[in-house]
A = this chain, B = another copy of it.
Amino acid sequence: MIRLPKYIHNSQGTLWLTEDERDNLKISYRIKEVLFEESSPFQHVMVLDSFDFGPMLVLDGVVQTTSKDGHIYNEMITHVPLSVHPRPQDVLIIGGGDCGAAKEAAKYESVRRIDLVEIDEAVVRASKRYMPEVSGNLSDPRVHYYYDDGVDFAKRASAAYDVIIVDSSDPVGPAQMLFEPAFYESLHRALREDGLMVCQSQSPIFHGDIMEQTYRRIGHIFPHTRLYTAVVPTYPGGLWSFTLGSKRELPEPERIRFNKTASYANQELVRRCFSLPAFLKERLELSADAARAH
């Protein structure tokens, strides 16, 4: 009998991955083949070739990105801050081991250095080898890989970056520190005086509390904060939020220019991702009012 990797089960001759992170909702993906499996010092890493989404990166049994839709997340976490900054030169990516954010950042001619700090080398290796649609099999000489703890790395930097992208997994386990105020303070120090940061701030529908807390924490440290959304089909709820924290005033959405070739992002979307649904706008306004009254 062949041993099945952790998290995979065989049902009547068919392989399935069932995400087990949620108590009340289970999503099962039919799998063609296990392309990569390794227990790294940090987590259990797999690339599974799925029927519906092509190769998928799976960490500790949870789908992180897929070949079919991973570009949406990576384009939106990268192109919004890089379009907002007038002339980004030095970019720091924390997390982002699938290399997709680095691939998008490399589209900017003004960018001269991209530091990618991923704690788990196995994630980068697996993504480059088995998910070229996401990683772009990146060999741009401007990209520098550091297999290091993002929190420590950020602490050591000072006024060194124009844009910092925090492309973390969910705030459980190793990524939890990436949602803490102390970390945002390090990012503030690591940015130049006109710098800005962005982070993924979870689902407005299923993790509204984390989203609101992230928005508030970044708002305590950065004078200018703005939230935007994108649709990421394989994330629960589809709608996903991102939060910008900037040292200098953010431009009005209508003034943002974007002219890169991308699959999801275009200038209209990069401007309009800041238009929030009624319930979300109201929630952030109430949160801001409460913070002021405090």
User: What residues make up the interface of A, taking CB atoms closer than 8 Å to B?
Assistant: 16, 22-30, 50-52, 68-69, 72, 205-206, 229, 231-233, 235-239, 262-266, 268-269, 271-272, 275-279, 281
Contacts and interface: CB of A to CB of B under 8 A. Distances in A.
Contact of A25 (B28, B72, B238, B277): B28
Contacts of A264: 277-279
Contact of A266 (B24, B25, B278): B278
Contact of A237 (B25, B233, B265): B233
A269 B206 CA distance: 21
A30 B25 CA distance: 6
Q: In terms of DSSP, what is the predominant structure of the interface of chain A?
A: loop
A104 to B, nearest CB: 13
A51 B26 contact: no
A48 to B, nearest CB: 12
A267 to B, nearest CB: 9
Which of A27, A205, A263 counts the most chain B CB atoms within 10 A? A205
Given A231-B231, A233-B238, A239-B233, A275 B279 contact: no
